[in-house]
Amino acid sequence: MGTTPSDFPQLNPDDWHPDLIRLADALRARTDRVAERLALVEARPPFRLRPAASWFAGIALVAMLLFPPWQRAYRDGNVKITMAAGYGPIFSPPKGADEVDMGRLFLSGLALGVVTLAVNALSRPPS
């Protein structure tokens, strides 16, 4: 045999303890504030890349890939020593350059991506 709602006495808010009433009011106010913030977030336009920043980033990326950083590599026994050799065209490396410095190229690309996203985020119209 189970219990039914009629087995419990009806709650009358007038009989509640004052602390319980304050707690219920505080929770109701907090719920209302959360609902207002949620409505603001839902009304905000989606994040989209700005065309000018995207074009600039694309051109800069192509330039970085066409003119990457180069390095000279020396061997001293089992130790490989590398020195920066500057930037030069991919089809005609600078004199004495042995290989593309992939570490600096990666960091340059990462920095370009971070700056592009920051410019897009800062240029976003206020909501």
* Domain ranges, ordered by start, for the chain: 5-43, 51-122
Strand partners, 83: 72
pLDDT tens readout for residues 38-97: 887 777 666 666 788 888 999 999 999 999 999 998 888 888 888 888 899 999 888 888
Q: pTM for the complete prediction? A: 0.57
- Strand arrangement, sheet containing 79-87: 79-87, 69-76, 99-100
d(C-alpha 127, C-alpha 123), whole Å: 12
Q: What are phi and psi of 93, to 5 degrees?
A: -65, 155
Q: Are 68 and 90 in contact (CB under 8 A)?
A: yes
Q: What is the DSSP letter of 67?
A: S
Query: What are residue 74's DSSP bridge partners?
Result: 81
